[in-house]
Amino acid sequence: MTATTPTRVVLRQAERVHRSPVPTLAAAVLAFGATAVLLTGTTGAVQTAVVLTALLVVPGTAVVRPLRLTEPIGRAALVVVTSAAVDTVVALAMVWTGHWTPVPAAGLVLVVSGWATLAHGIVAARSTDRVSLRRAVGAAWAARREGTVVRLAVGGGVLVAGVATWAVGTAQTTTGVLGEWGLLTAVTPTWWVGAGAVLAVTVVALVDRRFPAALRVAAAAVLVVVVYGTANLTAAEPRPPWVFKHVAVTAYIQQHGAVDPAIDIYNRWPGFFAVSAFLGSATSTADALAPVRFVEVAFALVDAALVLGIASTLGLRGRWAVTAAVVFSAANWVGQDYYSPQAFAFALFLAVVLVVLTALRRSPNALGRAIVGVASRLLRARRDPIVPTAGVAAAGSRGGTATVTAVVLVVLLQAVISASHQLTPYVLVAAFVPLVAVGVVRPWWTAVPVTVAPLLYLLPNLDYVQEKFGLVTGFDPLSNATAATTSIAIPSLATTLQSRGVLVLTALVAIVALVGVVRMVRAGHGHRALLVLWLAASPAVLVLGQSYGGEGRLRVVLFSAPFLAIAAVHAVHGRRVRLGATAALVVVTTVLFVTTTFQAEQSNRTPAGEVAAARWLDTRFTGDDTLTTVGSFPAIVGADYPAYLERWGQVQSLEDLTEWYPRGMSPTDLDESLADRAHGGVAWLVFSDTERAEVVERGTATGPEVDALERATARQGTLRYDRDGVRVYEVARGA
């Protein structure tokens, strides 16, 4: 029937949240134990694990506890992200003041947060309800009768076997140069068998409601590790190639204990690098490159857990919330989970959304109800709109302490985002402010600090951004959204299929998501539907005035993916035929993700020989030198990276230079280029077998041209480094 004017409904009193004191008491013990480790000066793997775990768990536990979140997976992820935000504030205070004392600072953070969690634990121990032994035994007996034990044994066994097979297949996969099909042809059949088994268990766990919940979550987590971790585990060095610049900035902060805004934009938005340097120094991890290959999997797991929590607040429960997290992980093909500020800021963004929807969500005002009423009538809803859901009821039962805590946490997270990444805070503003306007988020004044924080941070950096990058490139959203990326793709059948595959993946999830939105509205959940729809659409603000080198549309896909996935699961939520649709959605999106991301892996690899050569050169390069490479050599890799950025044209590749020589570059042309770029120091030239093959395949230069350039360089210079197919020549040059 046609929906009538929305009416308020009486909400049931939220059930009491049973809280165990064990997590907070364990966090307190961990905090004091890690502090003792810091005081004794112990080093090694145990020290690193204990201190790192404490810094990523204890501060967040102390802050998040008053929110009384009921969904455990999302709550755990929020604890980790909040801990990282608190650590970032401490790290920024040190680098901005120039007082770099990471170990004492870590001890202070752990002591303060440890006492706070201890207090929470004592209060919980006094007030918590005890679960009787009879109740626990009864639950276990009921599970046995429903066949849960059988599913646990069979599903767990297949999952373990799949993981073992995948691990063997990953170990057998080559770490060398990949062809045009990337990892698709490099991984062994053993890998495909293991990954297929993990996917099969995950799909069965999602469609079978009697599957053990813990094993369902474990299978989904393992699937994320399989699809995101394979590339990192089979690569000789961290990936992608541009990650080394981020490592260099972190190493610079570790070495100098401060930032220099004159160097680059990373030193102006240093949040991510500061906290990375802080955690590395506090855990005695001197090499900033060491943990990088594991970061992508960590971000993928945290993001999926946060999406699971968000899905729970938006009406999905149990296996359906897990399904939303799995679909999101498969739809997130953009590849922004690596060691980078944008990956860090995206996790913080998801954390803000989770806090807002669980603790600050309220009944919409008259404007919000009117919008929902119009949508319900247009889509011919079968029932009147149901005003608010669990988020509102729970918010009302939490009281003032939870609201104040949520507001403080939202402002804290937005401040850290603003100091870490240039774009993400404005996506949050675009998503947040309209929800305040329609009354879904309260108190309304929370929008003021959320909006002002990034603007205040941008103000002293505005001239720099405008000069170096341009604040806007034109208010033409269509042009900005369709602009080609600045990277050069190798034209081939494989790259063509890959580019079409990611379009199919995004289009599939978006179409199913629209079905989910319509289904929610027609079922009377118009408020929830329009909330999800707005959160999915608001990232389009990124392409209003900038194309960001063609990457603007990729960021739109990234920020929309969580909410498209949640809406898509609402489309298949149910039984019978919809269970088959759920299985098909998970399988198809996962297969598309694997095939498209694995094919593109060829451009994400950096040979170990080139990284070793870059480290060797980093200790010898000065601010007056120049560097000429054949291809994408990882020049900026260490703490001395500012030396590469002091003069014009210090680092250039043949791809840069051939723009001036469209008919090909001769040894004479190279000599003229070196003379034009001379600043009084040494001219370094790097030739490598891998880069030679790269430029030949791209059509930048022919093999004989590159060989002629190297022979000319060898005649007038000195070979200083020759190892693993990489040769570094030194050519003396005057200013």
Residue 479 has pLDDT above 80, yes or no: no
Q: What is the average pLDDT across 555-578?
A: 92
Comparing 4-8, 323-327, 525-529, the range with the smallest average pLDDT is: 4-8
Whole-number pLDDT of residue 654: 86
Residue 549 has pLDDT above 70, yes or no: no
Q: What is the average pLDDT across 57-72?
A: 91
Residue 111 has pLDDT above 60, yes or no: yes
Q: What is the average pLDDT across 186-204?
A: 96
The mean pLDDT value of the chain amounts to 87
Alpha helices in 10-147 (DSSP H): 22-40, 45-64, 72-97, 102-127, 133-145
Residue 439 is classified by DSSP as T
Comparing 85-89, 175-179, 234-238, 435-439, the range with the smallest average pLDDT is: 175-179
Whole-number pLDDT of residue 475: 54
Residues 269 and 337 sit within 8 Å (Cβ to Cβ) = no
Q: How confident is the model at residue 10 (pLDDT cuts 50, 70, 90)?
A: very low
Q: What is the average pLDDT across 520-543?
A: 90
pTM to 2 decimals?
Answer: 0.92
Residue 267 has pLDDT above 80, yes or no: yes
**Which residues partner with 721 through β-bridges?**
728
Q: Write the CB contacts of 324 (distance below 8 Å, at least 6 apart in sequence).
A: 307, 308, 311, 316, 565, 566, 568, 569
Whole-number pLDDT of residue 150: 83
Residue 487 has pLDDT above 60, yes or no: no
Q: What is the average pLDDT across 523-537?
A: 92
Angle at 211 between CA 210 and CA 214, to 5 degrees: 125
The string of DSSP codes covering 390-438 is: HHHHHHHHHHHHHHHHHHHHHHHHHHHHHTT-SSHHHHHHHHHHHHHHT
Residues 676-725: pLDDT tens digits? 888 889 999 999 999 998 888 888 889 999 999 999 999 999 999 999 99
Residues 471 and 462 sit within 8 Å (Cβ to Cβ) = yes
Residue 7 has pLDDT above 50, yes or no: no
3-state secondary structure of 81: helix
Share of the chain above pLDDT 70, in %: 88
Residue 437 has pLDDT above 50, yes or no: yes
CB atoms within 10 A of CB 377: 15
- Determine the number of helices (DSSP H) and then strands (DSSP E) in the chain: 28, 5
Residues 102 and 282 sit within 8 Å (Cβ to Cβ) = yes
Q: What is the average pLDDT across 147-163?
A: 89
Q: What is the average pLDDT across 609-618?
A: 95
Q: Dihedral sign, CA of 610, 548, 346, 205?
A: negative
**Which residues partner with 718 through β-bridges?**
730
Query: Residue 691 and residue 728: Cα distance in Å, rounded?
Result: 13
3-state secondary structure of 119: helix
Whole-number pLDDT of residue 656: 84
Residue 644 has pLDDT above 90, yes or no: yes
Domain ranges of the chain: 22-129+240-302, 155-238, 608-732
Q: How confident is the model at residue 252 (pLDDT cuts 50, 70, 90)?
A: very high
Query: Residue 654 and residue 267: Cα distance in Å, rounded?
Result: 28
Residues 303-314: pLDDT tens digits? 999 999 999 999
Residues 336 and 231 sit within 8 Å (Cβ to Cβ) = no
Residues 126-146: pLDDT tens digits? 765 544 445 555 555 555 555
Query: Residue 498 and residue 489: Cα distance in Å, rounded?
Result: 11
Residue 529 has pLDDT above 70, yes or no: yes
Query: Residue 541 and residue 545: Cα distance in Å, rounded?
Result: 8
Residues 35-44: pLDDT tens digits? 999 998 877 8
Query: Residue 683 and residue 677: Cα distance in Å, rounded?
Result: 9
Whole-number pLDDT of residue 545: 58
Residues 685-698: pLDDT tens digits? 999 999 998 888 88
Comparison of pLDDT for 177 and 23, the residue scoring more = 23
Q: What is the average pLDDT across 463-471?
A: 82
Residues 223-239: pLDDT tens digits? 999 999 999 999 989 98
Whole-number pLDDT of residue 660: 81
CB atoms within 10 A of CB 214: 10
Residues 329 and 319 sit within 8 Å (Cβ to Cβ) = no
Is there a cis peptide before residue 460, judged by omega within 30 degrees of 0? Answer: no
Residues 257 and 453 sit within 8 Å (Cβ to Cβ) = no
Q: Which of 10-14, 107-111, 181-185 has the highest mean pLDDT?
A: 107-111
Residue 260 has pLDDT above 60, yes or no: yes
Q: Write the CB contacts of 569 (distance below 8 Å, at least 6 apart in sequence).
A: 311, 316, 320, 323, 324, 327, 516, 582
Is there a cis peptide before residue 443, judged by omega within 30 degrees of 0? Answer: yes
Share of the chain above pLDDT 90, in %: 63
Q: Write the CB contacts of 708 (distance below 8 Å, at least 6 apart in sequence).
A: 666, 667
Angle at 267 between CA 266 and CA 272, to 5 degrees: 60
Q: Which of 29, 109, 19, 22 has its CA nearest to residue 66?
A: 19
